[in-house]
């Protein structure tokens, strides 16, 4: 893709007190790589407290030489990322009042055409600025109920990876901030350029705006059985292959009967049901990305397009029950 270098974009990463490191460094690194590949983007790091040029993360890593928010000069189309931070601060009225000037500034930036993005609990600061009143948004699933109680005017969407409305993006947390950054790069500089950046940072399964927070690739993993975890790894990494129960059992030195029983007891679903869920989620993503039904079927280890259609239909019927 030919990048137009005349229009320099500014991507501002806010550093609130007790910031969650991955919420900020994940998206920031994506834009760093974009600049390395020729995108006309400048990354800036800013505090949310007037006259403050330092901040300490929730992991005790300190940031210095920050530009206070009120010293920034942004243009329409620029980006502002507001990351998550310690949840105790978000429930502290004194902290919320201390950031009131930042909230007014954030609202003013949105009004002049700056794109506002939040990661994880950064959504709380956007809501405090009244940016999410009567707008759809999302946040980390763990804080959804608390968010609804504090900000009832916001239209919270649960189990969404990220949500866009009126040039405001809210995302679920940590890794979803990376997904959001890649999505924005795709919107600004095209899908091919975004794919280059994803490959550079070794992200081959890029999630989209329609994907759920709680992917089946991470569901059913809340257990301590190493052998079942290994079988789940093998299945998720081998969707294009037809593996027998005997082969899976040999991977973990178990009998087929014992593996079948242990898997169901540990995850509450059978190996076949788990595999169908993996294939369904991967197939839906591939189709949404524009892959043909035939290519999708082959990638998911299915014999034909008819088999793919039957799988999707069956899974949707199960989901409706």
Model confidence band, residue 318 (pLDDT cutoffs 50, 70, 90): very low
As a whole number of Å, the end-to-end CA separation of the chain is 46
Model confidence band, residue 274 (pLDDT cutoffs 50, 70, 90): very high
**What pLDDT, in 10s, does the model give residues 82-103?**
999 998 898 888 999 999 999 9
Per-residue pLDDT for 2 more than 60? Answer: no
Q: Tell me if residue 172 falls in helix, strand or coil.
A: coil
Q: Give residue 174's region: left, alpha or beta (phi > 0; psi -120 to 50).
A: left
**What residue ranges define each of the domains in the chain, with the CATH number in brackets?**
9-200 (3.40.50.880), 226-320 (1.10.10.60)
Task: Give the CA distances from residue 163 to residues 25, 118, 202, 227, in Å, rounded to whole numbers and listed in that order.
Answer: 20, 10, 24, 36
Q: In this prediction, what percent of the chain has a pLDDT beyond 70?
A: 90
pLDDT at residue number 6: 53
**What pLDDT, in 10s, does the model give residues 118-135?**
999 999 999 999 999 999
Model confidence band, residue 207 (pLDDT cutoffs 50, 70, 90): low
Model confidence band, residue 288 (pLDDT cutoffs 50, 70, 90): confident
**Element (H or E) spanning 307, and its range?**
helix 305-320
Per this entry, what is the length of the chain? 321
Per-residue pLDDT for 213 more than 90? Answer: no
Model confidence band, residue 226 (pLDDT cutoffs 50, 70, 90): confident
Residue 290, both tokens? 């524009």
**What pLDDT, in 10s, does the model give residues 54-81?**
999 989 999 999 999 999 999 999 999 9
**What pLDDT, in 10s, does the model give residues 134-166?**
999 999 888 889 999 999 999 998 867 888 999
Distance CA 28, CA 10 (A): 12
Assess contact for 157 and 125: CB atoms under 8 A. no
Largest CA distance in the chain: 66
Average pLDDT over residues 286-307: 89
pLDDT at residue number 1: 38
Per-residue DSSP letters for 28-97?
Answer: HHHHHHHHHTT--EEEEEEESSTT---EE-TTS-EE-SPEEGGG----TT-EEEE--B-HHHHT-HHHHH
Top pLDDT among 256 and 199 is at 256
Per-residue pLDDT for 202 more than 90? Answer: no
pTM higher than 0.75: no
pLDDT at residue number 303: 87
Per-residue pLDDT for 203 more than 80? Answer: no
Of 20-29, 118-127, 168-177, 264-273, the range with the lowest mean pLDDT is 168-177
């Amino acid at each position: 893709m030919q990048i137009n270098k005349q229009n320099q974009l500014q991507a501002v990463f806010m550093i609130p007190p007790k910031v969650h490191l991955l919420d900020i460094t994940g998206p920031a690194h994506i834009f760093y790589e974009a600049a390395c590949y020729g995108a006309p983007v400048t990354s800036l790091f800013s505090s949310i407290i007037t006259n403050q040029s330092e901040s300490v993360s929730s992991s005790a890593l300190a940031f210095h030489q920050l530009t206070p928010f009120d010293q920034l000069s942004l243009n329409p189309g620029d980006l502002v990322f507001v990351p998550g931070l310690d949840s105790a601060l978000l429930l502290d009225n004194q902290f919320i009042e201390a950031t009131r000037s930042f909230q007014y500034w954030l609202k003013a930036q949105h009004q002049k055409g700056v794109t506002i993005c939040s990661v994880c609990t950064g959504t709380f600061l956007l809501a405090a600025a009244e940016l999410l009143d009567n707008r759809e948004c999302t946040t980390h699933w763990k804080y959804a109920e608390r968010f609804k109680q504090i900000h009832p005017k916001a239209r919270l969407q649960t189990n969404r990876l990220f949500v866009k409305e009126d040039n405001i993006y809210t995302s679920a947390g940590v890794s979803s901030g990376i997904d959001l950054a890649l999505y924005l790069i795709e919107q600004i500089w095209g899908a091919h350029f975004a794919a280059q950046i994803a490959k550079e940072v070794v992200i081959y399964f890029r999630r989209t705006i329609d994907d759920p927070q709680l992917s089946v690739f991470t569901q059913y993993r809340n257990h301590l059985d190493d052998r079942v975890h290994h079988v789940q790894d093998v299945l998720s990494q081998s969707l294009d292959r037809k593996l027998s129960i005997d082969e899976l059992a040999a991977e973990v030195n178990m009998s087929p009967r014992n593996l079948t029983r242990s898997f169901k007891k540990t995850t509450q679903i059978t190996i076949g049901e788990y595999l169908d869920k993996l294939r369904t989620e991967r197939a839906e993503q591939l189709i949404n990305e524009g892959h043909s039904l035939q290519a999708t079927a082959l990638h998911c280890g299915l014999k034909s397009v008819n088999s793919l259609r039957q799988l999707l239909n069956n899974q949707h019927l199960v989901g409706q029950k």
